[in-house]
Structure 1
Amino acid sequence: MRSVNVTEVPENAQLIDVREPDEYAQGHARGAINIPMSEFVGRIGEISTERDVYLICKLGGRSRECGEYLEQARGGERVINVEGGTEAWREQGLPIVE
């Protein structure tokens, strides 16, 4: 699994936020889709296999765990962890939906 910093995430990326719904509702990266870690295994079918998938959480830990699972379940060339997570996204002044 590759890792990138928040400034390397393409504008139209398939960005999956694995935080829980209450965290997601408090503010998330613009364009991010919420598939919480607690539901991730049952919902991986919602993630396109045709595009790179960027996984984000608060700091990068949960997204890495989900990425490791996704790599094992489907193969990992297209799985990318966003280091620093939503906290780094905010710090860089990138678009947040609240």
Structure 2
Amino acid sequence: MLSIFKNKATEVVNVNDLEELLGEINLIDIREPYEVEQGTLKGAKNIPMRELLKNVEKYLEKDKDYYILCQSGMRSSRVCSGLSKSGYRVINVSGGMGSYVGSKIQ
């Protein structure tokens, strides 16, 4: 069962609840490229946090949902908080790659 809940102004989903959605969602890994080299979830697009925040309009549309992933869930939580206040539909992937126990890594 997919557990998405509201945490303040941002929706949250646990990284281990995403497997059934991979390939069907807009998943953005905001870690640095050297971190992503260790693996990321299948279908994730790597846009480092600073690049995303510097050029939000280049990467995101306000009428689409985006799942934001990092290593532990801390960076993604901060990014989601700011983006949601700016009108973007973002879901924080809690736990991040450090908590992922599945097999859908690319």
- Range class of TM-score, shorter chain: 0.7 to 0.9
Asked whether the 8 Å contact 1:40–1:66 carries over to 2, the reply is no
Equivalent residues, number: 93
Letter in structure 2 aligned against 1:17: D
Q: Which runs of 5+ in 2 are unaligned?
A: 1-9
Alignment counterpart, residue 94 of structure 2, candidates 70, 83, 96: 83
Aligned partner of 1:52 in structure 2 is 65
CA distance in 2, matches of 1:35, 1:43: 10
Distance 1:87 1:94 in 2: 13
The whole-number CA distance in structure 1 between the counterparts of 2:71 and 2:49 is 12
Alignment RMSD: 1.5
What 5-or-longer segments of structure 1 have no aligned partner? none
Among candidates 32, 44, 48, match of residue 36 of structure 1:
48
Q: Identity, % of aligned pairs?
A: 39
Higher helix share: 1
Give distance in 1, aligned partners of 2:99 and 2:103: 9
Q: Secondary structure at the match of 2:55?
A: helix
Distance 1:47 1:25 in 2: 23
| Cα distance in structure 1, aligned partners of 2:76 and 2:40 | 14
1:22 maps to which of 34, 46, 60: 34
Q: 1:3 aligns with which of 6, 12, 28?
A: 12
Q: How far 1:2 moved relative to its partner?
A: 0.8
| Larger RCO: 1 or 2 (CA < 8 Å, sep 6+) | 1
1:6, CA displacement in angstroms? 1.9
Structure-2 residue corresponding to 1:96: 105
